Amino acid sequence: MWHPAGDVCLDINPKPSNFGGNNLVVADIRRIPYPDNYFGAVFISHVLEHLETVADARLALSEAARVGGKVFIVAPSRYNLHARLLREHHLWIDKQDGIITISPMKLTERGFVG
């Protein structure tokens, strides 16, 4: 779902731009096209779990921290059945003792076979 309320909304998919706002930037979160410290904060909502590898997610977080001092993350809980059923989810993003951890979703954790 597209949320056009941000100052800049970055998405790798240009299709959500049908809201007509001029704040959409089509780009990859692993290569954010802004200079260091351009923003005061970055909000990443339901993106990281879709990346293929832990390295990709770490790169995305590094890019977000580079362009915006504070990074806020929303990701599904590993206890959420819906999150397990989506084939395009590849990673778990957790916070344990104030530390962000990223781990691959194992086939045995998925709600489907194949």
Tally the domains of the chain.
Answer: 1
Point out the residues of the chain with pLDDT beneath 50: 1-2, 113-114
Domain extent for 93: 30-109
Residue 75: the pLDDT is: 95
Looking at residue 42, its amino acid is V
Residue 79: the pLDDT is 86
pLDDT of residue 114: 46
Task: Give the residue among 104, 106, 80, 107 at the shortest CA–CA distance from 93.
Answer: 104
17 domain residue, yes or no: no
The whole-number pLDDT of residue 19 equals: 54
Domain for residue 37, yes or no?
yes
Range 59-62 contact pairs with CB under 8 angstroms and sequence separation of 24 or more: 59/30, 60/29, 60/30, 61/100
Report in angstroms the alpha-carbon separations of 72 from 65, 111, 114.
10, 28, 33
Domain for residue 15, yes or no? no
Position 63 scores a pLDDT of 97
